[in-house]
Amino acid sequence: MWYSIPRVVFTGSLLAVTVTVAQAQTADVQVEKLTITHPATDTDQQHTMLDLWISLPGIASLGDDSRVVSLEDDQGNDLLETEVSPEAQFGFDPAENGYLMRHQITSNLEEKWLRVPVFAPDVPDREATSLSMELELELELELELELELALAGDGARHVTVDNIDFTDIPGWGVDIDAGGHTVTCRDDRRERPDDEPLELFCFMREGSLLGITALGQDDTPEPSHAESNLVVVGDRQDVTLEMEIPESSSVQQVTQLEFGLGLDR
């Protein structure tokens, strides 16, 4: 768990009022949801969460250099700063990930958007009516088909990762660093973990995993489970995987948002 849920939560929906970007090819960035959690007691947590909606043709994922630079209310309160240690209060420091909850990012590549949660360790002043926010965004883009053909390539690169241990797979799966992308492999047959062969469902958190294969296996059978895309035969402790990942480029932009709190006071 990232944090426990206090007892008093106010939620409002809103849209961004202004967006200023510094890039010729820029993403549409909006605030879809704002949640302000005030403490019910002195021991409860307080924090602010935003859901950002980011849309750009070809968008695949959010780059590692993305971060929230500032988040302030119209009373001058800095929501990124807190008097209490974030580790002591929440069990993690949101600044380490740029205040972006990367494990909870969702994407729709067909509709060309990402939904990115933002976690701020403080809340707006009770007299505040609006917030201002500055973001530095690095957006990974998949190459378009026309560009792939023009380059006479297949628009993908092959990444080999060895020494993968599948002997004990937790419920959320095994995370694998594949050339800067995170690929998660999950066992959908956990009620029968010792079944042979091992069948896994592997996916990229942001972007499309085009293919995945365990190397060094002879006559690998087709998976019997409808959702599985990786079959591991025999030893599960030292597995070598070859993955096919889309080639990508990236764009960077600075985005400034101003928006109302959208809450009934």
For residue range 12-36, list pLDDT tens digits in order.
434 333 333 333 468 999 999 999 9
Supply the pLDDT for residue 212: 92
- Is residue 98 a part of any domain in this protein? yes
Comparing C-alpha atoms, which of 169, 216, 223 is closest to residue 196? Answer: 223
How many separate domains does the chain show?
Answer: 2
Average pLDDT of every residue of the chain: 79
* Nearest by Cα to 187 from 198, 176, 197: 198
Question: Are 197 and 253 in a shared domain?
Answer: no
Percent of the chain beyond pLDDT 90?
Answer: 38
Do 36 and 97 belong to one domain?
Answer: yes
CB 46 within 8 A of CB 39: yes
**Is 9's pLDDT higher than 80?**
no
CB-CB contact of 182 with 175 (8 Å)? yes
pLDDT at 69 over 50: yes
Taking only the tens place, the pLDDT of each residue in 197-220 is: 899 999 886 667 888 999 988 788
For residue 226, the enclosing domain spans 166-237
Domain membership flag for residue 71: yes
Q: Are residues 198 and 224 in the same domain?
A: yes
Per-residue model confidence (pLDDT) at position 103: 83
* 43 occurs within a structural domain: yes
| 69 lies in the same domain as 189 | no
Residue-level pLDDT at 72: 96
Cβ atoms 175, 184 nearer than 8 A: yes
pLDDT of residue 150: 35
Is pLDDT larger for residue 57 or for residue 265? 57
pLDDT for the residue numbered 190: 63
pLDDT value of position 171: 80
